[in-house]
Every structure is written in structure tokens, then in C-alpha cells.
Chains A and B, each alone.
Chain A
């Protein structure tokens, strides 16, 4: 049996340069700062150090520092990531670029206004339970729940919304719900005890047709939810059932709709 790794008794630090966006939605600039980095630090630690030592007015939103609240979403070296889950040793040498999420209006520095997401969320039809059984219970199979359980891991960091080019590049906020809310609708729509039908909403109001499956949402998800493969594409297929498949329409005509 090998001996345990020795615990370091001294902590060596090295300076790293951070280039941080300072400004708001109207104007701003990238400002360089230096932070002393020690082993085990994450980007949010460095941002806090810069706040404490160099820039007490630097605005940054954070809460749990454990990758579960989703508050510290930002763009590190151009990639949408959680600052608290990005370890310094995972970044390449050289200056580290930190910017706010691009798909939402900048309030100040690294803080963005994400309230649009909550407005979209309110428009989604909530869970509507099916008829209870004679003994008053709603029974479900474990494997049915396993499928939708993945979607419940979402921490609403909105990194998927930020990286989605429909929102980020084409500003379709007025027409398109975005991957986060396709995940939510998948969790409801595939629920074995849900009686609601959201396919019309998905097609006409959430505009799922705007998604062209480039899978960036899946790439950035800190909870590793297979957003495209397990949520968006199955929902697109359900929309196809309803609107683009004459065979499915004929089957519905003969046997009736399940929902």
C-alpha cells in the first residue's frame, strides 16, 4: 500500500494577471489586475482577492462557491463557465480574461441582468397531475423518473442561455425560450404523471425550431446535463409528431391522442 501524499507545509504563490471587464451596458473597458495564486484556488477566489486588494468596487455576483447556486456565471478566457468551479491550474499560462455573460444586459462589471429568464419561466404551463388512482395515489416507475431526474439537476446558472447563439448572437429573446427552458419543459413534458400538453407552446411561443442543434448548451453545462440529446431533440421529435408527421396524425385520428 502506497503512503499518502505529503501535505504541503508551505504555500507558494505566484502572480497571475487578470483582465477584467469594468463597466456597464453602455461603456466599459478591460482592466488588468494581479492576484497571488496559490494551489487549489479557483477563479472566484482570485476575483475576491482583487476585490479585497485592488478594486473594492468590482461588482461580482456569487453565493455558494460550490457550483450549486449558479450565481457566479461569467466568461473565462471567452468560455461561459462558473467562476467557482474553474480551478486556476486548469487554465493555460498567461493573462486570464474574465467578462460578464454576453447574452444578457450588463449591470456592472461581472454582474448581468438575468430577469428575462424568470419572465420566460412564468410562461411555461406548470405540472398538471393526472387522475389519481382509486386508492388516491399517483404511481410511477423508477425508470420513468430516472429519465426526467437528469433535468432536475439544473442550477439555473444560465450558462446555456449565454452560449446559445440564438440568444447570444441573434438576440431572439422576444421569440425564443432558450435551452434552460427546454430542459424545464422536458422535465414536465416527459413526466409520467403530467397531463399537460406543451407542444403548441414549444413550437409557436418557445420557437424550438430556432435551435439548430449545435450543442453549445451541452458543452457548457456545469451539471453535465445532456441538454441537446436528452431534452431538446426529444422535444423537437414530439413537435414533429404533432405538426409534421402525417402518419402520426393518422394514428392519432384512429386511436386518439394520449395527452
Chain B
């Protein structure tokens, strides 16, 4: 792309929203991420408030938005119907509302997502060497952004959640037969939920904080072949692919919810029984 005739280029000291001499499509990537993340937030908020069609009778499929289901009406619930502390008079209960804060908090404080949303939503900056709308800047030194330093604590919870989703993926191989018995089988939902766990593992274990905790914090990894160095190298491999896993796992978790919801509403039979037990 070249400059159109008569284009007025900003001088070396020009500032302000969009001030740049860049002639490429610098706005395309932030716009794309804005649409993707905004779309995800709208869909996941809608799905979280539904409180229904998040599991599929006859299977062990449960939407990742609703797992772990601490209180709820499905067979997956851990403690009963509704939490005693929930203000039912002002807000209808949905199991997702209790838990979605953890994965949302993990992604919100994630170093990779910070880059994406500071650019796409906050224009701080929109793209490299492009002017910003505000003169004031506090960075991550003050509230609320100083709280992003707690990323590792959300990571601990995210690891637990990912393990629970892994358990859900294993359970998704078990189905209920028409006579009430149990059987091992495989369905499209099994594949979707298993892949969901794999992608979330790839994202969670490639976290920058995790890389620090498993070895990055040390000035020396110890002797050649040490566990610390092996762990750090493995997490580094995932960390180098963190943007890929961050985005693909986000899309896949939404796709998993859509699939479970469609199956729950339609009553489609998506699996093949391998053997009964």
C-alpha cells in the first residue's frame, strides 16, 4: 500500500489517536481481535445466563462453561440444586455464573491477552508506532491493573479447572444405554470435549507465570538433564506457541458449548457404543 496523492504525513513529533506515517493495514489485526473477543464475550455471557441445555441426557457430555457444576440440577452437580447463599430474589441461578470468573480471570490477566486487548479495546496503543487517544498513562502500576500481578494465583485455579475438564473428557467416553446400563463408546462430543481439554492444557501449561514457576525463577537450572531444565524447556516450547493455544482454545471452548447445547436441544444421537459393562 502506498500513500495517496496529497497525504499529509505527521511530523516526527505528531501525537494523537491514529497519528502515524504507517501506510500498511495496521488497524486490521486489532479490529479482527476486537470482533473475535467481543463476539466471545457476548456469546459466553448469553450462554452463562441460560442455566439450561448445558448437558446431554444419555451421555456424560457437559459444557465446559458449566464445569465444574458445584450446584445445579443436572446429574453432574456436586452439592445439590442451588447454593444456599445465592440471591434468587434478584438473580436467577445458573451454575456457570459461579465458576466462569476463574477462566475469565485467567485469560484477563494472561500476558498474551493483555497485548491483544490493550491494543484492540484500549488503543494503548492500537498498533506499534501509532498514536493514542489519551495523554495520561499509569501502566500496570496502580489499581486496577496492578492486580494483574496476581496472574499466578488464577493460574493455580485454572490448572485445577483444566484437570476437572480432563475428567469430564474421560467421562464423555461413558454412555447410558436405553436399559439404564452403562457402556463405553465414542461420539463426536467425546472428540470435541477431549480436544477441548488438550487445547486448554496447551494454553494453561504454556503460561508465562508457569514457565517462571517451573524454572524461570532460578538463575541456574542445575546440572545437565535436570528436572528443572527439562520442565522449563517443555513449558518454553508451549510458551512459544502461547498465542496459538490462547486463541484456538478460546474458540474451541465456545464451539464445545455450542455443540453440547445443540445436542441437548435437538436430542440427536451422536455416538457409537463399543461395549457394555
**B-contacting residues of A (Cβ < 8 Å)?**
19, 21, 23, 25, 28, 30, 75, 77-80, 92-95, 97, 99-100, 102, 106, 140-144, 163, 165-166, 168-170, 172, 189-192, 194, 207, 209-216, 219-220, 228-229, 233-234, 236-241, 243-245, 258-259
Contacts and interface: CB of A to CB of B under 8 A. Distances in A.
B179 interface: no
Given A240-B149, A241-B217, A78 B141 contact: no
B84 interface: no
A214 B216 contact: no
A97 B3 contact: yes
B3 A210 contact: no
Contact of B137 (A172, A189, A239): A172
A182 to B, nearest CB: 13
Interface string B41-61: 000000000000000000000
A94 B111 contact: no
Given A75-B21, A77-B24, A233 B124 contact: no
18 contacts: A28-B11, A28-B12, A77-B21, A94-B23, A95-B2, A141-B220, A163-B128, A170-B135, A190-B219, A209-B139, A210-B137, A211-B140, A212-B114, A212-B124, A212-B145, A214-B115, A234-B208, A237-B208
Interface stretch (B64-72, B222-230, B247-255): B222-230
Given A212-B118, A216-B129, A77 B139 contact: no
Contacts of B119: 214
Given A209-B146, A233-B208, 11 more contacts: A28-B11, A93-B2, A100-B12, A141-B223, A143-B221, A144-B221, A165-B132, A216-B128, A237-B216, A240-B152, A244-B150
Contact of B22 (A23, A79, A142, A236): A79
Interface string B143-183: 00110011110000000000000000000000000000000
A214 B21 contact: no
Contacts of B76: none
A229 B208 contact: yes
Tell me the interface secondary structure of chain B in the complex.
loop
A219 B115 CA distance: 12
Contacts of A210: 137, 139-141
Contacts of A189: 219
Given A165-B124, A192-B220, A229 B129 contact: no
Contacts of B24: 77, 92
Given A97-B3, A143-B229, A170 B118 contact: no
B239 interface: yes
A31 to B, nearest CB: 11
Q: Which of B111, B114, B131, B221 has the most CB of A within 10 A?
A: B111
B21 A244 contact: no
B149 A97 contact: no
A189 B211 CA distance: 16
A216 B149 contact: no
A212 to B, nearest CB: 5
Contacts of B125: 165, 169, 214, 216
A191 B21 contact: no
A92 B221 contact: no
Tell me what chain A mostly uses at the interface: helix, strand, loop, or mixed. mixed
Interface residues of B, number: 50
Give the interface centre of A209, A219, A243 by most chain B CB atoms within 10 Å: A209
A21 B131 CA distance: 18
5 smallest A-B Cβ distances: which pairs?
A94-B2, A78-B22, A78-B21, A210-B139, A216-B128
B272 interface: no
B107 to A, nearest CB: 14
Given A79-B22, A141-B221, A244-B149, A166 B139 contact: yes
A97 B23 contact: yes
Contact of A213 (B20, B118, B128, B239): B118
A238 B216 CA distance: 9
A194 B223 CA distance: 18
A173 B140 CA distance: 17
Contacts of B240: 229
Nearest to B22: A78
Contact of A245 (B111, B137, B152): B152
Contact of B21 (A23, A92, A97, A106): A97
A179 to B, nearest CB: 12
A171 B118 CA distance: 19
B20 A78 contact: yes
Contacts of B137: 166, 169-170, 172, 210
A236 B217 CA distance: 11
B21 to A, nearest CB: 3
Contacts of A75: 12, 21, 129
Contacts of A141: 220-224
